[in-house]
Structure formats: C-alpha cells, structure tokens
C-alpha cells in the first residue's frame, strides 16, 4: 500500500491541529463521564461523574483526528465537503467537533460555547432527556446516524450523485466493513461519474477491533488488504502510527495527495473528456483504538485493544483508583491550554477551522440540500388510459407509469435532482420508457451487446438492494428526489435500512432546525400474485406489515388497483416530503377500472364505494371490500357471480387505495373518522375483504372499528408456487369462487337458500384444479372474464349479462 511521506504542516500548524484534536478528545471524554466540574477547576470527585457511564470511546480519537484534518483541508482548498461517520457510535466525537466549530451552539443555543454550555454539553450526552449516544439526526452536519452499521459508504455515494462540487469524506469502521451492505457499497466506484457527480473519499478506520474481536481487515496483512481495495476500484493510501505528531504529518500529506488526485480525476474527465474508469483514492487509517485513553486498566491492556470500545474506566464510583485515572486522563489533554477562563475554546484552537456554511456541521447539503427544489411534475392526467366503461380495457399499470416517469426524468434533467434506483429490475418492472431519455449509470467496461449503459445515466441499477436503498437515502437526505422500484418479495432485504430511515424521519419532525427532505418512495411490483416465472421464493407481501410498525406520521401505503390510480398515487408521492411511501402495483395486464377523473377522486378519498359495481341502494347485505389489483379483480368477478346467482342480494363494493385510512383517526393522520368508516362498512353487516397481503394486517388496522367482528379477510396465507395466476388466488382462498362462498357463509339468511350456489362454487374450484393440471393454464372463463356491466347505465345497472 502506498504511503505518502511528507511534512506539510509547519510547527505552528502542527501545534494548532494537535491542540484542536486534544480539545475534541477532551470534550468527548467529558461527555462520556462528567456531570459537573467540566474544566477540572477543582479536584475530580465522584459526584462530578455520571452514575451510568454510557458511550463509546474507542472509535472517538480516530474520528476526532479525521475531523481535525478535514477542517484543514476544507479551509486550504475552500472545499464543499461533508463527513459521514460509519462508526456512528462515536457520537461524542462529532458532537465535540460541532461544539468547537460553533455549529452545535447555533442549533442549540443553550449549549453555548462557554463553561455553562460545556457543562450542558457533557451532562446531556447519553443522559435522560438529553441526546443519543450516536451521530443521530440531532447532530448538526449528520446525514448518517451510524447506529446500525453498514450504510455509510452507500449514503456517502448517494449524497455525491448529481452534486459535482461536493466531496464526502466517509469514515468506514473496520468492523463495519464486514457487513454485507458495506462490502457491496465499495462497487459504487463503477457508478459515480467524475463529470456530473461529486467524489467520495473513503477512510477505512483500521483501528483493529470491534466490540470484542479483532476486525478481519486488520488481520489479513497489508498485501491482501491492498489487493482487496484495489479490486474494488480504489487506490489505497496508508496512514499508520501511534505518535501523534508523525501521524498528523502523514495524514495531512496524504489528504493533500488524495484531494489533488480527486481534483485531477475530475479535471481530466470534465475538461479533457477522459472517460477511462477512475481508480479513486482512499485512505487506510491505522491508528490505535482508544488512542490517548488509559493504556492499562486493572492489569489488562485497554488502549489499542477491543477493551477500549465503550467506557475504558467503568468503576469510577466504586474504585478511587479509577477516578484518579480518569482525572489523569482528562488532564493529559491540558484543558487549561485549550479553553479560556470562560470555558470558550481558545482562539488559536479554532481560528483556523472553517467558518460559516463550510463548517462540517453547518453544510447545507446535510440539512435538506444546498439547492433543494420541488420536482417538476408533468400533468399525470395526460398519461391516463382512456376508460369508456369499467374494466372494458386492460393495461399494464407500471408500463403506463413508466411513460410519466420518463417525462418526469426529462422535466428535471436540467435540475439533476431525480433518480430511479433498482436492483436490475427497471426494465423487468416495465418502466423502460425512461430509457428513451436517459441511461443507466455505468463506468465499467461495455460491450456491443449492452443496452442503455451510460456514464452519466440517471437510472442506478446494481444487484444489491442494500446499495440501492443506501444510495437513494443519501440522495434524499441531501434534498433530491427518487424512486426505488423493487420486486415486492426482495424489498425485505432492506427491512432494517427502512427501519433506520423511518426512525430518522420520525426524529427530524421534532427538530426545528432540520428542513424536510423528499419522501422515500418504493414502487413494489412484480408482486406476490403474479410471480408466474418464479414461484414461492418470489412471493412475499410482508413488507407492508413491516412498514406499518413504524410511526404513523411517517409511513404511507398505497395499493392502486389500476393504471390511472397508480398515476395519481405516484404523483402524490413524488410531491411529498418526510414520508416513506410504499406503492404496490402490478405490471401485468389488468382491467382499467377508473377513468382519470374518477381515479383522482378515488385516490383523494383513499377509499370509497364503487357505485357502478354496487347494487345495495344504501342498505347492503354484504360489503365486498378490496385492496390491491388482484384482490380487486377477484372481488369484482365475485360480485358478478353473486349478481348472476343471487340477484336480490344487495352488495356494496368498497375499494381501498390508501391502506392507512382503515386505521382510526387517532392512530394515523389518514385514519377515517369512525362515523365515515361505519357509513361505508356498516356497523352490523358482514364485510368480506380481499386484501393483497397477509390478511391479519387488515384486522390489525381495523380492530377498533365497530364492525370488526363482522370483518372477514382473505389474503395471502403463504401458499405459493410456480403456477397460474388464478391458481395462486385459489391456493390462498382469495379467488372469486371462494369469496362468493364467504358471502354465503356470512350473510345470515343466505345459508340454506344459497346451498346450491355454494356447491357450484366448490365445484368450480375443483374444475379449475383439474383444468390447470391438465392444460397448464387457467380455464377460459377465468382468462376471458371481463366485467360485464356498463357503468353508463347507472349504479349497479346490468347492461348485458
């Protein structure tokens, strides 16, 4: 691995940068331990120390070192630079630095840059009513909490896409680097465009240890590590040592070198048009874990071992010798040289670091973006499919959406603030119209057989749902917009990343200084009911269940039943901020139920009676509810059967697009008031509900409703395989015949009178089974079924049967 030797720092610079580092280290230790006596003006006593010692020291000195040197680089080069802290458990470090630079006190004036503010800074950390221990949303300049490890690099790349002047310095923990998401995010080097995008500078923090183990990358030797990092497309530079002055010189020299390299890569691509794939520089920083902390505690080595990970001296209140060691440790930073009599950082500690919004904690990229703007959205109504009568025609909803997305892409091409990400599925999900106006980002080799690959393409495809999600999050967190299209089953891969993002959104709602960020939009298609090619492994609608666990304020779930409703929902989602929107929609041909005008009304209501499909005259015997495209189809086919066989049964059809409307108004902002819910679903008639996903979710959402005891939900109950579309619904008892049987079973007066009809339905299911097993496809009456009634003849009218 290359080492850059050099002594770029003058004695004065060296002294300033080292003093700054000591100040940050002092403030970090103070946060972990101190409740009072912040400047050690009196001898340290047990009552000055927190009773519960919570936080992470080990990673902190390294993070402080990096921050100090980034400050130097930003000033020297007037860089637009932000940092992402992979080992986000080092919260004390970033909080300390933002306090030193003043950005913390600007956001939180009571934590002022004086002794009273320092006391608050220390007390609040990991303290009830205070702040979290990580680089959470509360920390100025953070777009990455780093609590759940693994996402730093993907976030960093997401931030630099379409931000050509931005550099993100991303500290990657050597333990973090063992995670799947981090491991695959190195491949971002094949996507980042030196012309249109900014640059990421990964800094692999090789402090050697995790919580209780060595880090793999620290134990494979420099050769193997170098090969690995080169293999990912980087040119790694090593900075190693435990002598602060030597490390300062080496890190400064190396940063100078790699920043020159980044500038050179961008210059050759931007001015000379050199399109050869860049071998982006990165730094491997090998310094001791827990550096400058207690060396040996109770006879065991602590510094430079995993024992320094959390709190190296844990028995302060029981052991006077631990208290004495803590005092000695704090004094080792010479606080009297770092802070003046009022507790302010001394001038020479901070007069050289960035000012204004060049401060890492104040860079607008980290707070909703430097130039946030809404998307230009073409009028989605112009993309409508024409619907002369419900179900008379069919379309592939996502293909229709793709045409609108293409024009969204074009309309925002100059603003460069819209991206589509996906794991190799944009085309499979039938959104390929976007390729008429842009390509897929790709800096690697190309062959004549390739299609739509483009070094500056705006679609990002990599077969890593983690990286897709991380990129998009980084993009959104820096104020731009996007859509993640994914197979429904495999979006579960990012369950946990979704969790973290949803938590972030929840927290920023209460931070007055955080600006809203564009919503995270999922388009889940290739869904459970239409996995014709793939079968069981690809059938899982459970992401919705996962999503609705999160705070109601930040999540929205939409199940548009056809093309026009999908357009209307997508337009709504791309305009929104601070939400996670989940849209589940099919890509296969399916009936167009609603004209665009009706679709807009229906989506605005979120759910409603389809009067053209109902014949209840306000007094239904049964409510047939449905949510999702396939359940809607089966419900309408069931309604047709009921009309044919039980013509005097009064059926009301209610379709649900916005799932959250089922909750009560006090549970979710979209929740339907009880009076309205009761009017739609009645308080005493049976409700047969066909739902796209696992049926229990509907019960979960509606359990407080008056009519819950009469709610009978059909949905996916984990019966799947590679079979025909109709066999899938039969296997899960959500088919039209079974829905009719449900009605007969639930409507009290029907039982005996409709016994023959019920038997017919059972027989139909048997015939279906035999037919599919013989012919390998669905029965003609299923394949050719269309809604036979004409809406123009009035609600529920029968035009031709």
Ligand X SMILES: Cc1ncc(C[n+]2csc(CCOP(=O)(O)OP(=O)(O)O)c2C)c(N)n1
Binding residues vs ligand X (CB under 6 A)? 58-59, 87, 89, 147-150, 173-176, 179, 205, 207, 209-211, 215, 289, 309
Q: Which does 233 bind (CB under 5 to 8 A by kind): Mg ion, ligand X, none?
A: none
Give which of ligand X, Mg ion, none residue 179 binds (C-beta under 5 to 8 Å, depending on kind): ligand X
* Cβ closest to ligand X, residue 87 vs residue 92: 87
Choice between 290 and 378, CB closer to ligand X: 290
Q: And the tokens for 752? A: 């005996």
For residue 590, the partner it binds in Mg ion, ligand X, none, with Cβ less than 5 to 8 A by kind, is none
Q: How far is the CB of 725 from ligand X (least distance, A)?
A: 38
Q: Give the separation between CA 93 and CA 142, rounded to whole angstroms.
A: 12
Q: Which two structure tokens, joined as six digits, stand for 80?
A: 């637009």
Residue 514 interacting entry, from Mg ion, ligand X, none, C-beta within 5 to 8 Å by type: none
Is residue 488 a contact partner of residue 523, using CB atoms and an 8 Å limit?
no
Closer residue to ligand X (CB): 242 or 617: 242
- Of the two residues 175 and 354, which places its CB atom closer to Mg ion in the complex? 175
Each residue 295-334 as x (binds Mg ion by CB under 5 A) or -, in order, gives: ----------------------------------------
Partner whose binding site includes residue 150, from Mg ion, ligand X, none (CB under 5 to 8 Å by kind): ligand X
Tokens 């931030």 — which residue? 159
Q: Of ligand X, Mg ion, none, which one sits near residue 46, judging by CB under 5 to 8 A according to partner kind?
A: none
Q: H or E stretch including 3? A: none
Residue 714 binds which entry of Mg ion, ligand X, none, CB below 5-8 Å type-dependent: none
> With CB cut-offs between 5 and 8 Å by kind, which of ligand X, Mg ion, none does residue 486 bind?
none
User: Counting contacts by CB under 5 A, is residue 455 touching Mg ion?
Assistant: no
Joined together, the tokens standing for residue 147 give: 């609590």
* C-alpha pair distances (Å), 658 with each of 52, 430, 566, 663: 45, 23, 11, 10
Q: Provide the β-strand partners of residue 691.
A: 627
**Strand 590-591 vs strand 394-395: parallel, antiparallel, or unpaired?**
antiparallel
The three-state secondary structure class of 274 is coil
Piece of the chain touching Mg ion by CB under 5 A; list 77-85, 175-183, 476-484, 733-741: 175-183
Residue 134 CB, nearest approach to ligand X (Å)? 9
Q: CB nearer to Mg ion: give 32 or 441.
A: 32
Q: What share of the chain is helix, strand, coil (3-state, %, to 5)?
A: 45, 15, 40
CA distance 637 to 48: 73
Interatomic CA distance for residues 710 and 629, integer angstroms = 23
CB of residue 210 to Mg ion, shortest distance in Å:
6
Q: How far is the CB of 333 from ligand X (least distance, A)?
A: 20
CB 15 within 8 A of CB 338: no
Q: Scan for tokens 């909803």, then name that residue.
A: 397
Note every long-range contact of 316-321, with CB atoms under 8 Å and residues 24 or more positions apart, other chains counting: 316/33, 316/46, 316/49, 316/53, 317/46, 317/49, 317/51
With CB under 5 to 8 Å by kind, the binding choice for 672 among ligand X, Mg ion, none is none
State the minimum distance, in angstroms, from the CB of residue 62 to ligand X: 7
Task: Take residue 357 and report the two structure tokens written for it.
Answer: 């919004």
Using the 8-state DSSP alphabet, how is residue 278 labeled?
A: P
Residues 28-47 that bind Mg ion (CB under 5 A): none
Nearest distance from residue 353's CB to ligand X, in Å? Answer: 23
Query: How far apart are CB 184 and ligand X at their closest, in Å?
Result: 14
For Mg ion, the closer of residues 22 and 309 by Cβ is 309
Query: What's the closest the beta carbon of residue 775 comes to ligand X, in angstroms?
Result: 49
Contact (Cβ atoms closer than 8 angstroms) between residue 552 and residue 659: no
Two tokens, residue 262:
């980044």
Supply the DSSP symbol for 657.
S
User: At its nearest, how many Å lie between ligand X and the CB of residue 716?
Assistant: 29
Does 207 bind Mg ion (CB under 5 A)? Our answer is yes
* Nearest to ligand X of 90, 198 (CB atom): 90
Tokens representing 87 are 């080992």
Task: Select the residue interacting with Mg ion from 101, 138, 174, 778 (CB under 5 A).
Answer: 174
User: Is residue 175 near Mg ion by the rule CB under 5 A?
Assistant: yes
- Whole-angstrom distance, CA of residue 28 vs CA of residue 26: 5
Tell me the closest approach of the beta carbon of residue 384 to ligand X, in angstroms.
Answer: 44
Contacted by 58, from Mg ion, ligand X, none: CB < 5 to 8 Å by type? ligand X
Closest approach, Cβ 205 to ligand X, in A, equals 5
Distance CA 658, CA 607 (A): 6
The total number of residues written for the chain in this structure: 801
CB closer to ligand X out of 500 and 682: 500
H-state helical runs in 272-396: 320-331, 335-338, 347-350
Q: Cβ closer to ligand X: 466 or 692?
A: 466
Closest CA to 781 of 744, 737, 716, 750: 737
Q: Which does 149 bind (CB under 5 to 8 A by kind): ligand X, Mg ion, none?
A: ligand X
Within 10 angstroms of residue 143's Cβ, the number of other Cβ atoms is: 28
Which residue, 202 or 686, is less far from Mg ion as judged by CB? 202
Give the pairing type, strands 296-297 and 418-422.
Answer: unpaired
Residue whose Cβ sits closest to ligand X: 173
Q: Which is nearer to ligand X, 61 or 397 (CB)?
A: 61
In the complex, what is the shortest distance from the CB of residue 217 to ligand X, in angstroms, rounded to a whole number?
Answer: 9
669 near 555, Cβ under 8 Å? Answer: no
Considering CB distances under 5 to 8 angstroms, the limit depending on partner class, which of ligand X, Mg ion, none binds residue 211?
Answer: ligand X
Give which of 658, 690, 655, 685 is closest to 672, Cα–Cα: 658
Give the nearer residue to ligand X in terms of CB position, either 289 or 359.
289
């Amino acid at each position: 691995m290359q080492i850059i030797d050099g002594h770029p720092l003058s004695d004065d610079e060296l002294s300033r940068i080292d003093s700054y580092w000591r100040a940050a280290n002092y403030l970090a230790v103070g946060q972990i331990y101190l409740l009072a006596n912040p400047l050690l003006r009196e001898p340290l006593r047990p009552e000055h120390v927190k009773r519960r010692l919570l936080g992470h020291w080990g990673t902190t000195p390294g993070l402080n070192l990096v921050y100090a040197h980034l400050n130097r680089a930003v000033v020297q080069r007037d860089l637009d630079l932000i940092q992402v802290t992979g080992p986000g458990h080092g919260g004390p470090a970033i909080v300390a630095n933002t306090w030193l630079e003043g950005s913390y006190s600007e956001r939180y004036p009571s934590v002022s840059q004086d002794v009273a503010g320092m006391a608050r800074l220390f007390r609040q950390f990991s303290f009830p009513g205070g702040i979290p221990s990580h680089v959470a949303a509360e920390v100025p300049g953070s777009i990455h909490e780093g609590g759940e490890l693994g996402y730093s690099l993907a976030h960093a790349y997401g931030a630099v896409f379409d931000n050509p002047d931005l550099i993100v310095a991303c500290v990657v923990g050597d333990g973090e680097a063992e995670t799947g998401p981090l491991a695959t995010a190195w491949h971002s080097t094949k996507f980042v465009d030196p012309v249109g995008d900014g640059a990421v500078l990964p800094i692999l923090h090789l402090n050697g240890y995790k919580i209780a183990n060595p880090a793999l990358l620290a134990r494979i030797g420099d050769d193997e590590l170098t090969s690995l990092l080169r293999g990912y497309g980087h040119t790694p530079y090593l900075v190693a040592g435990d002598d602060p002055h030597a490390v300062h010189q080496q890190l400064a020299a190396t940063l100078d070198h790699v920043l020159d390299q980044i500038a050179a890569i961008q210059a050759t691509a931007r001015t000379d048009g050199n399109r050869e794939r860049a071998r982006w520089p990165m730094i491997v920083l090998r310094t001791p874990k827990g550096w400058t902390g207690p060396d040996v505690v109770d006879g065991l080595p602590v510094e430079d071992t995993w024992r320094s990970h959390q709190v190296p001296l844990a028995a302060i209140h029981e052991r006077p010798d631990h208290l004495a060691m803590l005092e000695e440790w704090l004094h080792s930073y010479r606080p009297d040289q770092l802070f003046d009599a009022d507790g302010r950082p001394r001038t020479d500690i901070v007069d050289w670091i960035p000012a204004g919004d060049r401060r890492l904690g104040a860079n607008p990229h980290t707070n909703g973006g430097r130039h946030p703007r809404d998307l230009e959205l073409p009028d989605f109504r112009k993309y409508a499919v024409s619907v002369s009568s419900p179900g008379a025609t069919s379309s592939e909803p996502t293909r229709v959406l793709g045409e609108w997305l293409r024009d969204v892409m074009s309309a925002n091409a100059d603003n460069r603030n819209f991206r589509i990400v996906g794991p190799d599925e944009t085309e499979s999900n039938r959104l390929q119209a976007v390729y008429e106006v842009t390509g897929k980002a790709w800096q690697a080799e190309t062959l004549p057989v390739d299609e739509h690959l483009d070094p500056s393409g705006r679609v990002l495809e990599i077969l890593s749902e983690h990286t897709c999600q991380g990129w998009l999050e980084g993009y959104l967190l820096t104020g731009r917009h996007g859509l993640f299209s994914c197979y429904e089953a495999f979006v579960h891969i990012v369950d946990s990343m979704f969790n973290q993002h949803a938590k972030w959104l929840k927290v920023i709602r209460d931070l007055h200084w955080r600006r809203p960020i564009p919503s995270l939009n999922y388009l889940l298609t290739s869904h459970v009911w239409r996995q014709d090619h793939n079968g069981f492994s690809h059938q899982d609608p459970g992401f919705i269940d996962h999503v609705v666990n999160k705070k109601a304020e930040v999540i929205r779930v939409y199940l548009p039943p056809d093309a026009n409703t999908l357009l209307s929902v997508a337009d709504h989602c791309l305009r929104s901020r601070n939400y996670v929107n989940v849209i589940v929609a099919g890509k296969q041909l399916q009936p167009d139920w609603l004209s665009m005008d009706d679709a807009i009304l229906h989506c605005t209501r979120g759910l409603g009676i389809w009067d053209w499909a109902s014949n209840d005259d306000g007094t239904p015997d049964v409510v047939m509810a449905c949510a999702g495209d396939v359940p809607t189809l089966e419900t309408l086919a069931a309604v047709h059967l009921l009309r044919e066989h039980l013509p005097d049964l009064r059926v009301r059809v209610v379709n649900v697009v916005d799932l959250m409307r089922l909750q009560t108004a006090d549970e979710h902002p979209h929740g339907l008031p009880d009076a309205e819910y009761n009017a739609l679903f009645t308080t005493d008639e049976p409700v047969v509900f066909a739902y796209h996903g696992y049926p229990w979710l509907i019960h979960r959402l509606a359990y407080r409703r008056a009519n819950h005891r009469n709610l009978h939900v059909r949905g996916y109950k984990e019966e799947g395989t590679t079979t025909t579309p109709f066999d899938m619904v039969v296997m899960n008892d959500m088919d039209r015949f079974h829905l009719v049987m449900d009605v007969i079973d639930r409507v009290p007066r029907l039982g005996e009178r409709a016994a023959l009809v019920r038997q017919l339905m059972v027989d139909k299911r048997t015939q279906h089974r035999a037919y599919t097993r013989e012919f390998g496809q669905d029965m003609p009456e299923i394949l050719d079924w269309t809604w036979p009634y004409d809406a123009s003849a009035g609600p529920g009218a029968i035009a031709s049967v």
